Amino acid sequence: MGKIGYRLYIACSEGCFAIVRLTNHSSGWLTATADFNVRSRKDMGRKRNNQAIPDEPTDSLVRKYINEFVGNSRFMIGDGAILSLVKLFPENSTFHEVLAKVCVINDLYATGITATYDMANHIVVLEVDQALSLAGADIVDKIAWVSIGGKKRHNYSFASKYCAWHRPEHYPMFDDYVRQIFLAYRDKDNFATFEDADLRQYPLFKQIVNAFQSQYRLSGYSYRELDYFLWGYGKKLFPKQYKKITEQVAPPDRR
């Protein structure tokens, strides 16, 4: 029998997420396929026996991942689009200008914000321009914490990227690959003393980035270049892992 419908749903739960695909067949049967992320929140930051051990971040290794990113035309076109938008709208006091930047950064960097209007309004209300001009680290956490529908949300990865695109020389980017690779280098070389939670407090995160640069003599690389390396190498060392479950659900009794 042929398929007569296809829809994609994403269901989130504590500690993991699932991508659920529902296919409605002409026979009346419904096929549900779910891809589950098998790494739970409890596992994150916990040192495991099978944890990948990173190589020494030599110039050749760092340069390899910088070149891979820069050589990817899709990545560079996306970055160019963001850069052009920030140059066109350098300030953050006009709602529609901020909204455009929020939407593009969120989409191209997959930071997972669904309430983009709320985030844009939040940034305008915060009046972030002075803090950005002074390179204040605290502004990242202030942008990250936003109330949506009466619930506080912590859009930390997005906030670090939003600030980084406005002042790249002062704001390193955070994401989960960066988090995992810093924890791995900490466990291997003890380049700095910190806990997983410290990485989610931006002033501490920036100190950890600076300690990483100092420990491995990488101060000649910009924060942006360092992000190319951390993201690319982290993605290789800690690939997302999935398992697939498929079930068939009988059509409802229509008697």
Q: For residue range 190-214, what is the model confidence (pLDDT) as tens digits?
A: 999 999 999 999 999 999 999 999 9
Q: Is it the case that residue 243 has pLDDT exceeding 90? A: no
What pTM was estimated for this model as a whole?
0.76
pLDDT score, position 159: 98
pLDDT, residue 13, reads 37
For residues 247 and 32, give the distance between their C-alpha atoms in angstroms, rounded to a whole number: 5
| pLDDT of 137 above 50 | yes
Contact present, 218 and 57 (Cβ < 8 Å): yes
Average pLDDT of the chain?
A: 83
pLDDT higher at 246 or 56 = 56
Tens of pLDDT, residue by residue over 49-105, are: 457 899 999 999 999 999 999 999 999 999 999 999 999 999 999 999 999 999 999
pLDDT at 50: 53
pLDDT exceeds cutoff 90 at 254: no
Mean local confidence (pLDDT), 96-115: 96
pLDDT at 107: 97
Mean pLDDT on 32-53: 48
Give the pLDDT score at 44. Answer: 39
Can you name the CATH fold of 3-39+241-249?
A: N-terminal domain of TfIIb (2.20.25)
Residues of the chain with CATH 2.20.25: 3-39+241-249
pLDDT value at residue 130: 97
The answer on pLDDT for 33 being more than 60 is: no
Interval 16-31 mean pLDDT = 46
Look at 21-25, 26-30, 36-40, 190-194 and tell me which has the smallest mean pLDDT. Answer: 36-40
Q: What is the pLDDT of residue 113?
A: 94
**Side chain identity at residue 250, one-letter code:** A
Name the burial class of residue 121, with classes exposed (0-12), middle (13-18) and buried (19+) by CB atoms within 10 angstroms of its CB: middle
Sheet of strand 3-13, all strands in order from the earlier edge strand to the far edge: 3-13, 16-25, 30-37, 242-249
Per-residue pLDDT at 223: 98
Query: Cβ(174)–Cβ(157) under 8 Å?
Result: yes
Which contacts of 144-149 are long-range, i.e. CB under 8 A and separated by 24 or more positions? 144/202, 146/115, 146/118, 146/119, 146/122, 148/115, 148/118, 149/115
